[in-house]
With several copies, the nearest count.
Chain A
Amino acid sequence: MFTKILIANRGEIAMRIMRACQELGVKTVAVYSDADQNALHVQFADEAVHLGASAPKESYLNRDKLIQAALHSGAEAIHPGYGFLSENAAFAAAVESAKLKFIGPSADSIRAMGDKAESKILMKKAGVPTVPGFEGLETEAEFKQAAQEIGYPVLIKASAGGGGKGMRVVSQESELQDALELARGEALNSFGDERLLIEKYIAAAHHVEFQVFGDEQGNLIHLFERECSVQRRHQKIIEETPSPVLTSELREQMGAAAVQAAKAVNYFNAGTIEFIFDPSSAQYYFLEMNTRLQVEHPVTELVAGIDLAQWQIRVAAGEKFPFQQKDFMQRGHAIECRVYAEDPASGFLPSTGKLLQFIEPHGPGVRVDSGFAKGKTVTHFYDPLLAKLIVHAENRETAIQKMQNALKNFIVHGVVTNVDFMQAVLAHPDFASGQVTTRWVETVLAVADLAVEKNKPTPEQLISAALAEATLANSSIAAVERRNESDPYSPWRQTNGFRN
């Protein structure tokens, strides 16, 4: 086992990994930017290295600084977390070149899965179902013929693309020509590459992904699925497992396909195969592979009964993964809610500020993976994830109840959060019946109504505000809080004298 690991990340995932390290008896090195000098992960680590300015490219995305920090602090390995450099093949390679261990898959695996078009071709070869479509077409006639073959509606998207750019849904042949021109222009502008691909458009799709895990000796299995269809702007908000739309036959098929996909790139460590699932036809298609630990890994941990973060470190240290597929089963139901600093009533605009209150819910079956605490500041430099609230219960119904109650007891002041919004999702009949598709938040859930509902304060809210004014205002609270603040750099010496 390693004696010291550098965690090249921040927020809740840095905390999660450091807790795993503590339990394994491994020392931790945190890294931080200017904005994070007072952050929780810096305080929690055994030591912390300052990287640079707040902008990610000066800090958490700066490969050289990270590797230097690891070498300088005597760390033997780097855990990348998720986001930032976690899926950067060049970083993984550079880490290994510096004789450090990259806690994740090989640089080759990351590279192979990094390009959308290439990985799709690779998966087709490996016999993994992909969305029906064609790559490498050029003329309008070719596209027209392809569209007829696939059947409308079709999706046109940039080969080099991502983030919805250069993407067009075409419902009938008459729209095809315009769509091709527009998509080509956008693709060229955004990626400097006008190549397009065409595939079947799946209107009401679920996002169902499979966790895979393997050691460096070639033992790789899957740990079942996660249903991640509750999304806004292509970003997941609520995840759960088991998926309410899978039968056990489908689960077995898709799990086998996920293992096949991962083995096609000689995968090891934790990874996720994302599928698009069409409930109308019960068909599933490979979407992409995430070559790192996912944000939503806790639901798998709870339902499969495994500590993924610990095992990531163990297998990176050379341990064999001692389990086989048959050792795992899904037990109970787990749901994760991502508590974001954002305002759902204003189009999910991020919200920043100092956390005036931050009370996490507690109780049996309630887990909070948090990167913040009362008094900490949420800045605009990084993603708005404050904490993940995860519950585990006997079945989906009780898990929903548990989550609703836990959300009620999660109190955040100082930034606007999506907590109340997630309550609305959980209380919706479509969620109860498991019919939420990836476009559901945008198309079905009446976000506008939520905003309207909030316009008029309730009598109880007005009374609370008035009571606070009468009892708490101008009291010692504000003064006390200021005095309790700790300043990490020039602490007590200016203010405290010595008594001899």
Chain B
Amino acid sequence: MKLLFDSQPIEIVPTPNGYDVLFDGQTHPVEIARLDKASGQIEFRIGGIAQSAYISFDGAKRWITLNGQTRMLTKTSTARRGARQDSTAGLTAPMPGQVRSVAVGVGEAVKKGQTLLTMEAMKMEIKIQALMDGKIKTIFVAPGATVEREQTLVEMAE
């Protein structure tokens, strides 16, 4: 079984005692001690050392808590790699919230760093600023609008 987590290729192969997990040219033999599907808890041993992990599934995301540290890994398929757009022209909401005010109009020329609109979420004000000098091409939202995370708010042109 070949996997890709946060761009890290991993292979996992069943063995008589558990699994071999392969990455970075290394093979890690793993023994499973206990598996609790209800809580997503896996107890296992790597090289004789006991480990206990809690894992939750969230689409392609994996939430993992191990030794009291939590981190999120994203499972990607090789096909979809590199598809992410890194354009500075489209400005997206960094989190869900409400648009409080829009400071610019369509066609207006703006400077890099200029505040284009403000959002509010969880009692916090967030400024959406231009990532480059340019012109406002489209504004997708109006004050009071509720937006989702990564929803495009404003599009700019050079």
Where the two chains meet, the residues of A that have a C-beta atom closer than 8 Å to any C-beta of B are 43, 46-47, 55, 233, 341-342, 346, 349-353, 356-357, 359, 379-384, 407-409, 411-414, 416-417, 419-420, 423, 454, 457-473, 475-478, 480, 483-486, 488, 491-493, 498-500
Given A352-B149, A359-B54: A464 in contact with B66 (beta carbons within 8 A): yes
Q: Contact check: which of A55, A466, A477 meets B3 at CB < 8 Å?
A: A466
Q: Could you tell me the distance in whole angstroms from the C-beta of A50 to the nearest C-beta in chain B? A: 13
B124–A465 contact, CB under 8 A? no
Quick one: given A417-B70, A423-B68, A469-B1, are A464 and B96 in contact (CB under 8 Å)? Answer: no
Min distance, Cβ B72 to any Cβ of chain A, angstroms? 7
Q: Give every chain A residue within 8 A of B32 (Cβ-Cβ).
A: 467, 471, 491-492
**Contacts across chains A and B counted by CB atoms under 8 Å:** 193
Contact of A457 among B5, B30, B35, B123 (CB under 8 A): B5
Q: Fill in one digit per residue for B61-90: 1 if any A CB lies within 8 Å of its CB, else 0.
A: 011111111111101000000000000000
Q: List the A side residues contacting B62 at CB < 8 Å.
A: 465, 468
List the 10 closest pairs (A to B, CB-CB), nearest first. Answer: A408-B68, A413-B63, A413-B56, A484-B38, A356-B56, A464-B53, A491-B35, A468-B55, A350-B122, A380-B121
Q: Which positions in B face A, CB cutoff 8 Å?
A: 1-3, 5-6, 8, 10, 12, 14, 19, 21, 23, 26, 28, 30, 32-40, 42-44, 46, 50-51, 53-58, 62-73, 75, 94-98, 121-124, 126, 149
Interface pair B54/A380, CB less than 8 Å apart: no
| Among candidates B30, B69, B95, B122, residue contacting A420 with C-beta atoms closer than 8 Å | B69
> Is there contact, CB below 8 Å, between A411 and B54?
yes
Question: A469 with B12: in contact, given A475-B37, A484-B38 (CB under 8 Å)?
Answer: yes
Contacts of A382 in B (CB 8 A): 122-123
Can you name 28 A-B residue pairings with CB atoms under 8 Å?
A341-B122, A346-B94, A349-B94, A350-B124, A352-B96, A357-B63, A380-B95, A408-B67, A411-B54, A457-B71, A463-B51, A464-B51, A464-B53, A465-B5, A465-B55, A466-B12, A469-B1, A472-B40, A472-B42, A478-B57, A483-B37, A486-B34, A486-B35, A486-B38, A491-B32, A492-B37, A493-B14, A500-B1
